[in-house]
Amino acid sequence: MCLCGSKNLIWDITKKSSLVYLVIQRKSVICHSYHPFIYPLITPPTLTIMRKLCLFFCLCLLLACKKQINRPPEPTVVEEERTAPGGGRPPKPTKYTVYTIRQGQHYSDQNSIKSVTTSEMKFMAKFDNSAIYQTILPENQYDINKLWGFSEGFDNQYNSARIGWSWNDGALRLYAYSYNKGVRQYQEITTVTIGAEITCSIKILGNLYIFTVNGVIVTQPRGLSTAHASGFQQYPYFGGDETAPHTITILLKNL
């Protein structure tokens, strides 16, 4: 059924689905057939206004929105003055990166994924009084925390080498700590002084790991025999079974 009409019509017909738009001079008349699937009708002038309004609101939203970029916190770097032997001219300050393990956590605040290929990893470390702690269970006092090192491949509990540390029996102790094809190995290297600079290295030589702390050397079997270790950086970690009993701060510097 068509509802429209005048005898003097100058009209241009544009058919869209079930709609026929009739332009009568400056007026618009809509003719359509009644059909159960016809949607409510909007005249062309109204449609144009709605499009303009939609465009206006979209522009407002685009102008109002600002993209936020969450950047990881920058590593904290401190400079430590060193005393020259014999009272000579002091060397340049040593720049350390500060690693923090929060109370109740295992991992340090900086532990991003970083690939490593090396035949020797050399670094310096420095502990403060936060390295003195007491575990909840007495037997966990002898658990070895991890200081620095590398995995060979993705799994640090299959092939890896790290220097570990622990406060027990009134001393700060550093350890050789490694996995050889899934078998854990550890051995105390030496005790160190809180506040002192500690020179460390982990070297691979065929099927051996060679650990050195302040000139003291310990070797452990290695599960591979390649000339270079290829894996991922291993960061400070507390535990063992228990998490850090308080906030622990460690200074580290690659050499």
Q: Kindly state the average pLDDT of the residues 131-154.
A: 97
Assess whether pLDDT exceeds 70 at residue 194.
yes
**Percent of the chain topping pLDDT 70:** 64
Q: Which residue in 220, 114, 107, 224 sits closest to 158, CA to CA?
A: 224
The per-residue pLDDT for 83 is: 52
Distance between start and end Cα atoms, the chain: 90
Could you give the domains of the chain? 1-48 (no CATH), 93-254 (2.60.120.200)
Helix, strand, coil content of the chain in percent (nearest 5) = 15, 45, 45
Tokens of 78: 């401190």
**Using CA atoms, how far apart are residues 234 and 179, in angstroms rounded to an integer?**
13
Is residue 94 predicted with pLDDT exceeding 70? yes
Mean pLDDT of the chain: 79
Q: Please give the model's pTM, rounded to 2 decimal places.
A: 0.67
**Residue carrying the six token digits 């650990």:** 211
